[in-house]
Homo-oligomer: A and B are copies of this chain.
Amino acid sequence: MELRHLLYFQAVAEELNYRKAASRLFISQPGLSRQIKSLEDELGVQLLERDQTGVELTPTGVFFKGEVDFLLNHIESTKNQLKAIASGKVGELRIGFLGSASNRVLPELLKKLNDNYPLISTSLEELSNSIQVEMIQKDKLDLGFVRLASVPEDLEMRPVFRDSFSLVVPENHPVQLADFHSVSQFQDESFILFSSDYSNYYYDQIMGICRDAGFIPNIRHKSVHALTIFRLVENGLGVAIVPTSLKEGYDLKVRFMEIPGIPQFTELSVIWKPKNRNPTLSRVISLV
């Protein structure tokens, strides 16, 4: 067994089609067929179910795919760390974050990081909650900033920032901050939300706020990006409920009004995998 086999298997498992996988790997289909077959022979198990219709993963194959993803990611990360170590940097840290984490917590962390370990380099990526969890589990990411109620067993989670919710309205909206006492004042408006596949937890909370105020919001638009949501609000397409800290950093014709007297809040948490072998990680954990 060679890494080649793992890489090939990964491609086939993702494409579920030998020809497509082969062209993605820039090799011929027969060559790929034979390599996969020899992999199965060596492992002594069947990984893929194939007929003239297509390809499917066996349950064993599903397990193996997970391990292969992990291994290949780990190797990739090791390669990068190697270069960092050899060039005198201490290491590399791959950080994932929700768009709504970029305003407050992340800049602070990066500053602290730079002060304490000036030689640690970072790569930042804006990703959804679920993708971050998955990538951290597979060693494709070292640290994640998410809004989640819980994470899988093999991950650790620490809350880092608690935020209230604000209603976002167009600048010229008739309801002024002084008159604003309940979300129910907006029950006839359209609502713009973060997509629920971006964060179910967030989605449920917004629904909870409206339910507590005695109405079910009329959701007209959903988006994964804060900026998009604000643009829609700006153009009068509805109002939005977002974490208050998003107030800073955007220069738009919208007004933030913190929602008074509600129990809901949103909590940004750091997550990581204690088993992650990146030596840089353990040092950074102590900073957050």
Contacts and interface: CB of A to CB of B under 8 A. Distances in A.
A83 B45 CA distance: 7
B3 A59 contact: no
A152 to B, nearest CB: 14
B64 A82 contact: yes
Interface stretch (A73-81, A129-137, A207-215, A253-261): A73-81
A137 to B, nearest CB: 14
Contact of A277 (B2, B59, B82): B59
How many chain A residues sit at the interface, stated as a range, is 20 to 34
Interface of A: 1-4, 43-46, 49, 58-60, 63-64, 66-67, 70-71, 74-75, 78-79, 81-83, 85-86, 91-92, 277-280
A196 to B, nearest CB: 22
A67 B78 contact: yes
For A1, A74, A277, which residue has the most chain B Cβ atoms within 10 angstroms?
A277
23 contacts: A1-B3, A2-B4, A3-B3, A43-B79, A43-B82, A44-B82, A44-B83, A45-B82, A45-B85, A49-B277, A58-B277, A59-B85, A59-B91, A59-B278, A59-B279, A59-B280, A60-B279, A63-B81, A63-B85, A64-B78, A64-B82, A67-B277, A71-B71
Residue from the set A49, A79, A83 with the largest chain B CB neighbour count within 10 Å: A79
A75 B70 CA distance: 11
B85 A60 contact: yes
A44 B86 CA distance: 9
Contact of A75 (B71, B92, B277): B71
B45 A86 contact: yes
A3 B64 CA distance: 17
Interface pairs A-B: 5 shortest CB-CB: A45-B86, A2-B2, A67-B78, A60-B86, A59-B278
Contacts of A82: 43-45, 60, 63-64
A120 to B, nearest CB: 12
Contacts of A63: 81-82, 85, 279
Contact of A70 (B85, B277, B280): B277
Given A2-B2, A85-B60, A71 B74 contact: yes
A70 to B, nearest CB: 6
A116 to B, nearest CB: 19
Contacts of A70: 277
Given A3-B3, A59-B92, A60-B85, 11 more contacts: A2-B2, A43-B79, A44-B82, A44-B86, A46-B86, A59-B280, A60-B279, A63-B85, A63-B279, A64-B82, A71-B78
Nearest to A5: B3
Nearest to A44: B83
